[in-house]
Amino acid sequence: MMAAPVLIPASALGRDGAVPPSERIVLGGLGVGSRGTGVLNWMLPEPDVQFVAICDAKKAQREAIKRLVDTKYGNTDCKMYRDIREFLALRTDIDALLIATGDRWHAMAATLAMRAGKDVYSEKPSSMTIAEGQMVVETARRYGRIYQTGTQRLSEANFTFANELLRLGKLGQVHTVRAHIAPWDAAEMRTDWLPAEPEPSKDEVDWDQWLGPCPWRPYNSAYVRGGWRGHYDFHTSCIGEWGAHTFAQCQVAIGAADTSAVEYQYVANESGDGMVTRFANGMRMILNRGGWQGTAGGWHGSCGVCYEGTEGWVSVADGYSKPDLSNPALLGEFSTLVRNYMARTQRPMSHVRNLFDCIKSRRLTVANPVMMHRSMSTVHAANICMWLKRDMKFDPVKEEFINDPEANRLRSRAMRAPWTI
């Protein structure tokens, strides 16, 4: 009796341009809402990535991501989970996680995922405190995990070109960089609670999971619809909202990706607009809230940066076709500088592709844990300066404020059991 032939699809063998399963990155998601869906839509077209499962405290969001993924793949295979502990324990097949929860969960989720053997893409701001950033850095180091934070402008050509102009000395001696902070909310955030509402079933919204390590408070539906912003327990203020992007951009540009600002000058307004921070290398980074305009040119659009040197300036923000320059002739070098950067660093102009390439090569990502932590430490220190309403000095080696016990107590926050590390 002859056995029937076994038919193996060409895709399983890597034919017809398909990536064989043994070479695919198995991806899962945690807390993938509106922002996370945008990132997921960047990830799904990558041929060597297969998204297989979503974990979310909200049923509606779990189902929305399952529909998106199943439609993409033409099947019903995407699995749904409510509890992160069950998710990480059961899905040992998952290589990497897209973490796109609210700010309160980023560092905790990244740490739990890396301890479970997962590589991580974490939306920004990736820590709520200096201590959380330290936790992420130490976990990635100890467990040998690849980590990328969602500061995607580090992988965009306009911002890369501006950084390369500075690095190559084409602006002369750069003395000042300017970083855009969000033009809404304030540095000092709310500490009150929204009124209590009837708590939904755990399957609809697992309120305990949603809160995670934050202090307990009564359920209010506004929180889970995005109304957590502006609340101290959940947010990193107007400074962290965009500073998570722009501080990272500036610090990479000035060669300070592995350190933090050492001086913070308090400004008597609600947002930190105009605060001057200084780095040990002498560079000044100034926080600007609006579409800053000045003798060195300003910016229009969101998440802008401006670099000022002795021989000119460059500024860029979202929505630019090309950066603004004091010397427009430098734009003639745009393609060359970006191309040379990609060749020198082996990094593409795609933030998610950089992650996936590094998962395979085990090289550091452009937005690696140290860069994330050090730029976010500058964010947190700027916030603390505004909260305590005084100038401050910070030691980036010891990672502590100098002669300021009150400020040092704000480097960490208590985590609510059982969501502790």
pLDDT digits (tens, 9 = 90+) for 37-81: 999 999 999 999 999 999 999 999 999 999 999 999 999 999 999
Tokens (6 digits) for 56: 């979310």
Farthest-apart Cα atoms in the chain, separation: 89
CATH number at residue 48: 3.40.50.720
Q: Is 216 contained in some domain?
A: no
How much is the pLDDT for 330?
98
Domain end residue (candidates: 103, 129, 152): 152
Q: The tokens 């998610």 sit on which residue? A: 352
How much is the pLDDT for 13?
47
CATH number at residue 272: 3.30.360.10
Strand partners, 400: 395
Q: Mark whether 299 and 288 lie in a shared domain.
A: yes
Q: Mark whether 306 and 379 lie in a shared domain.
A: yes
Q: Is 351 contained in some domain?
A: yes
Domain end residue (candidates: 126, 152, 178): 152
Q: Is 387 exposed, middle or buried (0-12, 13-18, 19+ CB in 10 A)?
A: middle
Strand order in the sheet with 147-149: 79-81, 49-55, 25-30, 96-99, 119-122, 147-149
Chain-centre distance for alpha carbon 311: 32
CA angle 122, 398, 178 (to 5 degrees): 60
Tokens (6 digits) for 82: 């409510």
Provide the domain limits for residue 405. 153-186+236-409
Strand partners, 79: 53
Q: Is 229 contained in some domain?
A: no
Q: Mark whether 76 and 170 lie in a shared domain.
A: no
Domain end residue (candidates: 137, 152, 167): 152
CB 185 within 8 A of CB 242: no
| Identity of residue 254 | I
Q: Is 193 contained in some domain?
A: no
DSSP secondary structure, 331-392, as one string? GGGHHHHHHHHHHHHT--S-HHHHHHHHHHH-PPPTT-HHHHHHHHHHHHHHHHHHHHTS-E
CB 97 within 8 A of CB 27: yes
Write out residues in the chain with pLDDT < 50, as ranges: 2, 5, 8, 10, 13
Q: Mark whether 265 and 116 lie in a shared domain.
A: no
How much is the pLDDT for 295?
60
Q: Mark whether 119 and 159 lie in a shared domain.
A: no
How much is the pLDDT for 16?
55
Q: Is 206 contained in some domain?
A: no
CB 366 within 8 A of CB 345: yes
Q: Mark whether 75 and 145 lie in a shared domain.
A: yes
Q: Is 209 contained in some domain?
A: no
**C-beta contacts of 13-17 below 8 A and 24+ residues apart:** 17/47
CB 139 within 8 A of CB 112: no
Q: Is 420 contained in some domain?
A: no
**Torsion angle, alpha carbons of 154, 293, 238, 158, to 10:** -10
CA distance 86 to 223: 24
Q: The tokens 């995407």 sit on which residue? A: 78
Q: Mark whether 179 and 250 lie in a shared domain.
A: yes
Tell me how many domains the chain contains. 2
CB 133 within 8 A of CB 107: yes
CB 160 within 8 A of CB 349: yes
Q: Mark whether 81 and 167 lie in a shared domain.
A: no
CB 372 within 8 A of CB 379: no
Q: Is 198 contained in some domain?
A: no
How much is the pLDDT for 9?
52
Q: Mark whether 107 and 157 lie in a shared domain.
A: no
| Identity of residue 285 | M
Three-state DSSP state, 201:
coil
CA angle 148, 153, 156 (to 5 degrees): 110
Q: Mark whether 158 and 86 lie in a shared domain.
A: no
DSSP secondary structure, 282-305, as one string? S-EEEEE-SS--STT----SSS-E
Q: Mark whether 400 and 261 lie in a shared domain.
A: yes
What values do phi and psi take at 110, rounded to 5? -60, -40
Q: Mark whether 273 and 367 lie in a shared domain.
A: yes
